[in-house]
Structure 1
């Protein structure tokens, strides 16, 4: 009687995962732990005396969610295609906010070795929140919502 041989060991490829999204013509990925949920763009109430990138406040399951136009914050144009827009919900320290982006691509997985800290040219306004890049057909910039949520200019919403 012969025992079956053990299956050959395949080298496991370590991967990194995050939520993929588009802002303008660029692709971004946010670390999984930094996005609480992804919503369709909710109805919101406009707020007086706030900067143009503050869209308003929405009631999400009984909790007031300030909704921000992430593209507008960075001086980019938000897509006119409302159906594709999504809101990334960030709940970090004292900040609970929704970041409206052009489109969300769901979970994205990248081989860890595809990561680089050498960034392609990016807008100066976005650069402090980019912690690296994963290379595929196009670069996927690693965007940190937590870094944005603690940035003083983002917290300063009033005129």
Structure 2
């Protein structure tokens, strides 16, 4: 009888804990990456699979930041050098250890971002929101955060990036 009561009590405590977790607001979760020495936060809900940077097929007449296409799990994905797109690097040479972060399929854009390094996961509970700089920012530039070690991070809204007219305009302008 004591074992049944103890088991029932354990089940009640577990149910209460699960309910408490469900009732708590979720913290923002990011994939932390580095591009040209800058810390960038990509929302986990908008990021897709991570792949090793691989051989890319060059796309003729494309903007310099569109470094090619890659076959990722049987699907062709345009690959954007994020550092070059953001104006942080001139050349599109892939750094050793570069990775591809595909956009979440829900964004409906077959695209992967080439980043220099993956730095793990971050959440808002361990970061401090920074005041806006006052300089004009593109719509896809989210808030700036500072971590426990004092590093500054720029959040990017990948859904806004996927809808950005400049990001979608991949063809190099042709002289007529």
Superposition TM-score tier, normalisation by shorter sequence: 0.7 to 0.9
Please state if 1:129 is matched with 2:140: yes
Q: What are the residue-to-residue correspondences of 1:1-159 with 2, within 5 Å? A: 15-77=27-89, 82-90=95-103, 91-111=105-125, 114-116=128-130, 118-120=131-133, 127-136=138-147, 137-159=150-172
Measured against aligned partners, the alpha-carbon deviations of 1:102-143 in whole angstroms (never above 9, x if no partner) come to: 111121223177234x23477x6x643222122221121111
CA distance in 2, matches of 1:71, 1:53: 8
Show CA shifts across 1:22-42 (max 9, x none): 122221111110101111112
Aligned residues of 1:18 and 1:30 also touching (Cα < 8 A): yes
Q: 1:73–1:81: structure 2 CA closer, same or farther, 3 Å change rule?
A: closer
Question: Residue 18 of structure 1 contacts residue 109 of structure 1 at CA under 8 Å; is this kept in 2?
Answer: yes
Q: TM-score, normalised by structure 1?
A: 0.78
Greater helix content: 2
Structure 1 runs of 4+ with >6 Å offset: none
Larger Rg: 2
| Structure 1 segments unaligned to the other structure (5+ residues) | 1-11
Superposed CA RMSD in Å reads 2.8
Instruction: In structure 2, list runs of 5 or more residues that go unmatched.
Output: 1-23
Structure 1: how far apart are the matches of 2:65 and 2:162?
14
Q: Which has the higher contact order (CA 8 A, sep 6+)?
A: 1
Q: Structure 1 residues 121 and 99 mapped into 2: Cα distance closer, same or farther (>3 Å)?
A: farther
